[in-house]
């Protein structure tokens, strides 16, 4: 089947997205074609908007709309606790638990020698800079309970403990080998509650 | 988690799409955020383009970029055979078999008394208009092998046979109760080949 060029182009672009195969792309394209023009326009606008309006928070490296992200800008948050996560999506996961009132630090990955990722490729230096300000008393390491996540946690614990800061790790209420992003709120909330010192 | 407004808006729009839940929407939004600006721009452009450039073919009611669709515009196609399908996506499915060189007619649904859809809601009148031109000698009814699809096939057979046109039905090589859109090319190709007269 040769699709009309504009359809083929949209299918192409849709298939670049994570989790979208040829079938889903076709369903979405046909849905857009059948829908009011407004549906395509609003989605296109939202796509452009997100790239125009969103950047990395210079403090925690989560996505931010203002100068800093909403969490860093919130004066109600406890600035003495930083929760270190792998990716921005993990911030959303921890926030959903409603258990954590401190700040975040997004590493941007985990130590993975196989993939050539060492601490220099992560935002470890930036974390040290934040701790150097002296306000932080506890760092919760909430990397995924995978081999790389545990390695990264141990590396950070060894690096941070000499600075006189308490370093804790979320409890393995999550199944080992699992993914923080897929945990339900209750499990992840309990894991946060039962964090242990490293 | 309160997402920044532009992210929340994109998640909203993405979740309107078929097959996209909150998790997939988040993965896509974060993918777009992490990617070059170009990714969002190209996708947005493709979305707007498809609505600007694509309309219904006035002959077969498939999607068309030009005045008529590519199939109807192709002088190599056999204008004496029309394959009647439920939806535009079924045209793509039949085209993928490479077995069919005639034209199409998209009904826009099936007869379904439960949903209040009778022949008047489908493009049956337009099919009769095409047959009235006298060039068509065979109508292949390729509605899905579901209760509604079979009902529609029988209805059309009874309506069209008195016009002196041969009415055939694709063979049930497809599992009964299945969906044309999910059939593999070989199965659907065989079903086309083994079509029987109604």
- CATH code: domain of residue B94: 3.40.1360.10
Structural domain count of chain B: 2
For residue A95, the chain B residues in CB contact (below 8 A) are 1-2
Does A62 reside within a domain? no
What range defines the domain where residue A37 resides?
A: 5-53
Q: Do residue B45 and residue B117 come from a single domain?
A: no
Q: Do residue A99 and residue A165 come from a single domain?
A: yes
Q: Do residue B48 and residue B87 come from a single domain?
A: no
Q: Are A137 and A81 in contact (CB under 8 A)?
A: yes
> Given CB atoms, is A46 within the 8 Å cutoff of chain B?
yes
Q: What ipTM describes this predicted complex?
A: 0.71
Which range, of A120-124, B59-63, B80-84, B143-147, averages the lowest pLDDT? Answer: B143-147
CA distance B113 to B117: 6
Q: Do residue A46 and residue A81 come from a single domain?
A: no
Say what percent of chain A tops pLDDT 90: 55
Q: Point out the residue among A43, A88, A92 whose CB comes nearest to the CB of B13.
A: A43
Q: Do residue B24 and residue B92 come from a single domain?
A: no
Q: Do residue B86 and residue B153 come from a single domain?
A: yes
Q: Do residue B122 and residue B160 come from a single domain?
A: yes
For residue A32, the chain B residues in CB contact (below 8 A) are 17, 47, 50-51
Does A68 reside within a domain? no
Does A182 reside within a domain? no
Q: For B126, how many CA atoms within 13 A lie in the half-sphere containing its CB?
A: 16
Does A146 reside within a domain? yes
Minimal CA separation from B158 to chain A, in Å: 30
Q: Are B26 and B73 in contact (CB under 8 A)?
A: no
CA distance B168 to B198: 5
Q: Point out the residue among A3, A27, A47 whose CB comes nearest to the CB of B44.
A: A47
Does A97 reside within a domain? yes
For residue B43, the chain A residues in CB contact (below 8 A) are 10, 13-14, 16-17, 44, 47
Q: Do residue B88 and residue B150 come from a single domain?
A: yes
Task: Tell me if the pTM is above 0.80.
Answer: no
Determine the pLDDT at residue A41.
93
Q: Which two tokens stand for residue A5?
A: 């060029």
Q: Which of B6, B57, B70 has the most A C-beta neighbours within 10 Å, making it the best mutation to test the interface with A?
A: B6
pLDDT digits (tens, 9 = 90+) for A81-128: 999 999 988 898 888 888 889 999 999 999 998 989 999 999 999 999
Q: Which pLDDT band holds residue B174 (cuts at 50, 70, 90)?
A: low
pLDDT digits (tens, 9 = 90+) for B23-37: 899 999 999 998 888
Q: Do residue B87 and residue B46 come from a single domain?
A: no
pLDDT digits (tens, 9 = 90+) for A9-67: 999 999 999 999 998 999 999 999 988 889 999 999 999 999 888 889 999 999 998 88
CA distance A145 to A157: 15
Determine the pLDDT at residue A110.
93
Does B192 reside within a domain? no
Compute, in degrees rounded to 10, the torsion defined by CA atoms B105, B108, B112, B116: -140
Does B177 reside within a domain? no
Q: Do residue A104 and residue A136 come from a single domain?
A: yes
Q: Do residue B31 and residue B87 come from a single domain?
A: no
Q: Do residue B31 and residue B115 come from a single domain?
A: no
Does B189 reside within a domain? no
Partner-chain contact B45 A43, CB within 8 Å: no
CATH code of the domain covering residue A45? 1.10.8.420
For residue A184, the chain B residues in CB contact (below 8 A) are none
CA distance B99 to B97: 5
């Amino acid at each position: 089947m040769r699709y009309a060029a504009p359809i083929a182009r949209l299918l192409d672009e849709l298939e670049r997205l994570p989790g979208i195969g040829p079938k889903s792309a076709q369903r979405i394209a046909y849905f857009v074609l059948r829908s009011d023009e407004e549906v395509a326009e609003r989605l296109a606008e939202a796509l452009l908007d997100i790239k125009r309006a969103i950047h990395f928070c210079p403090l925690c490296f989560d996505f931010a709309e203002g100068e800093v992200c909403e969490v860093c800008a919130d004066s109600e948050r406890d600035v003495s606790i930083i929760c270190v996560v792998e990716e921005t999506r993990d911030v959303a996961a921890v926030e959903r638990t409603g258990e954590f009132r401190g700040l975040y630090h997004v590493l941007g990955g985990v130590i993975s020698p196989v993939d050539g990722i060492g601490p220099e490729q992560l935002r470890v230096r930036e974390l040290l800079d934040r701790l150097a300000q002296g306000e932080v008393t506890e760092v919760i390491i909430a990397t995924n309970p995978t081999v790389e996540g545990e390695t990264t946690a141990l590396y950070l614990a060894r690096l941070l403990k000499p600075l006189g800061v308490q370093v804790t790790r979320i409890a393995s209420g999550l199944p080992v080998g699992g993914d923080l992003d897929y945990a339900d709120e209750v499990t992840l909330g309990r894991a946060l509650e039962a964090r242990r010192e490293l």
